[in-house]
Amino acid sequence: MGRSRGFTATLVQMQREAERQQRQQQQAARRAAAEAERTRQAYRRAAMADEKERKRLYLESRVAEVARLNDELLVDVSRLTSLLTESLQVDDFLDLESLKEVGQVPPWNPGDLAIPRKPPAPEAFQPTAPAGLMKLMPGTKQRFAEQWEHGRQAYEQALAQHVEAELMRERRCRQAWDLYQQQVKEMEQRLSQQHAEIEAFKDAFRSGRPSAVTDYFALVLEASSYPEGFPQNFRLAYIPESKQLAVQYQLPTFERIPTVIDYRYVASSDKVTEKARPVRERQALYKDVVAQVSVRTLHEVFEADRDGLVDTIVFNGHVETINSATGQKENPCLVSVLATRDTFMNRNFSQVDALACLLDLSASVSKNPAELLPVRPVLDFNMVDPRFVEEADVLSGLDQRQNLMALTSGEFESLITNLFSRMGLEARLTQASRDGGVDCVAFDNRPIFGGKVIIQAKRYKNTVGVSAVRDLFGSVHNEGASKGILVTTSGFGKAAFEFAKDKPLELITGSNLLYLLKVHADIDAKIVPPEHWADPKSDTGPAHWDDRDTRPSTE
């Protein structure tokens, strides 16, 4: 019985120990599960905090992006509204001397080639002489002698190598020097040639050669800084006899005006919305931009002209577009103006309204540039085609073109009459004028726009004076004509252009005449006055102008 109780007690003890271990395992499992849950909760809280931070940073980035868009929009519109005043901070004069390249000759620097190498030292090859008891050892003297001889040979070999290396170094140094001298010479020749070209360009410019004048002002206009999206393409032509520069300038399109007035970020939909700029506001801004570019270009040319080569500027502002109805390219003229230096530059441009300035200059400005409503150019750029403006061929003997100055008065009268007949007028000759020109009465049969036209032609070598323009205006009034045309083989001064402004008068210079003859009558002509040609003194040249000639007549 005792043995049975002991066995039972042992079993009970074992069972209790197993239950205890089981409880411990369960507690450990619960603790592990609780720790895992705590860890999961911590991770979830961290993930939520991280997501919240990411959302905050994302929101800030979107808000910053919208702020950047609005800042860029504000800067762009600010530049568009200050195109004229912005350019006033810059001196548009181009000093041709500054075009010369400045080439500084680099110093001669051969580097290690200029440093001689030290020759080998004899003592470095000499063996150490035996001393003390070593001198008494058998064979020492012989070994020393052998070592000495070996050192001597090694020294002579090293010395020979040194001499050869030095000869090579000196040869390479001389080659480097020759190359340096050649490079310096080439640089000096290139600079000398470039400087000579600049000097030739300066001489040609100051003498009023058309190609040099247009090249100079092309450099001026190319240096003008405009906002992105402005084409800055142009054509230039110079009429030396009238000191007139014709500018055909490509304007930006209406699409360059921002269509947005404000950007906003909507967090709920995570979208950037755009507030549209009103169409009328865009149209008004575009019209102002067209006016500013026009006035700015005139100002840049006149300010850059310190040599007084340009008295008048004809500016035609065009825009390249596609006709949506035909699909064809078009180039309508949106603004056209003829400005003389005196009437234009006498202004405080920092306070000028560009559109008001153009209207004061009697410019033709499109009523709605955004709709591409064109205006009639004051002067068609093709009429001052460089082919007709350039000087006559120096090899005049090889030039087979008809010289207008060599015609008789009758021949010249017939030529002018036929020209305007080809241009659609009913031209009739009248009595020839005293200066060899022709008074011609023509009729434009178009309804409303037509009427009687008085045409006078003057074969002049020098500039036609303003008195001739006044006389023509008087004839228009006396004859009851609707228009007067004065054609000359030379040109007109600024006083003539100023007087003709706002009057039914049209002035055609020699280069214009050559163009019209080619286009409408297929006549290749030239204008080369004979050596002893003399213009009538009453109508010619600045020498006969006075203060009254610089102001439009009050008649």
Hey, which of 43-57, 262-276, 455-469, 508-522 has the most confident mean pLDDT? 262-276
Residue range 401-550, CATH number: 3.40.1350.10
The whole-chain average pLDDT of the chain stands at 86
Of the segments 34-48, 173-187, 384-398, which one has the largest average pLDDT value?
173-187
For the CA atoms of 179, 183, 188, 191, what is the dihedral angle to 10 degrees?
170
Length of the chain: 555
What is the token pair recorded at 140? 């020492």
Q: Is 310 left (phi over 0), alpha (psi -120 to 50) or beta?
A: beta
Judged against a pLDDT cut of 80, whether residue 134 lies above it is answered with: no
- Taking 80 as the threshold, does the pLDDT of residue 437 lie above it? no
Q: Tokens 């000087």 identify what position? A: 391
Q: Determine the Cα–Cα distance for residues 309 and 302; give it in Å rounded to an integer.
A: 9
In this prediction, residue 540 carries a pLDDT of 44
CB-based contact 294:335 (threshold 8 Å)? yes
- SS3 call for 433: coil
Task: Look at residue 552 in the predicted model and tell me its pLDDT.
Answer: 33
Lowest mean pLDDT among 328-332, 414-418, 491-495: 414-418
Residue-level pLDDT at 551: 32
Provide CB contacts within 8 A for 461, sequence distance 6+: 405, 489, 490, 529, 533, 535
pLDDT higher than 60, residue 543: no
Rounded Cα distance between 526 and 388, Å, is: 8
**321-342 pLDDT per residue, tens:** 988 788 889 999 999 999 999 9
What is the Cα–Cα distance from 158 to 165, expressed in whole angstroms?
10
pLDDT for the residue numbered 285: 97
How many Cβ atoms from other residues are within 10 Å of residue 506's Cβ? 17
- Render pLDDT for 141-184 as a digit per residue (tens, 0 to 9): 888 888 888 988 999 899 899 999 999 999 999 999 999 999 99
Predicted confidence at residue 125, as pLDDT, reads 87
Check whether 397 has a pLDDT greater than 90: no
Domain boundaries, the chain: 85-94+223-384, 111-129+137-204, 401-550
Residue type present at position 482: S
pLDDT value for 315: 97
Residue 431 has pLDDT above 70, yes or no: no
Residue 434 predicted with pLDDT over 60: no
Strand partners, 454: 441, 484
**Taking Cα atoms as reference points, which of 485, 494, 476 lies closest to residue 513?**
485
Backbone angles phi, psi at 91, to 5 degrees: -85, 115
| pLDDT computed for residue 4 by the predictor | 62
pLDDT of residue 555: 31
Task: Tell me the C-alpha distance between 277 and 555, whole Å.
Answer: 49
Residue 160 vs residues 120, 124, 126: alpha-carbon distances, Å: 10, 15, 17
DSSP per-residue codes, 345-390? HSS-GGG--HHHHHHHTT-EE-S-GGGT-----SS-GGGG-HHHHS
Beta pairing, strands 438-444 & 426-432: antiparallel
Task: Check residue 283 and give its pLDDT.
Answer: 97
Q: Are strands 321-322 and 260-266 parallel, antiparallel or unpaired?
A: unpaired
* Phi/psi of residue 491, nearest 5 degrees: -155, -175
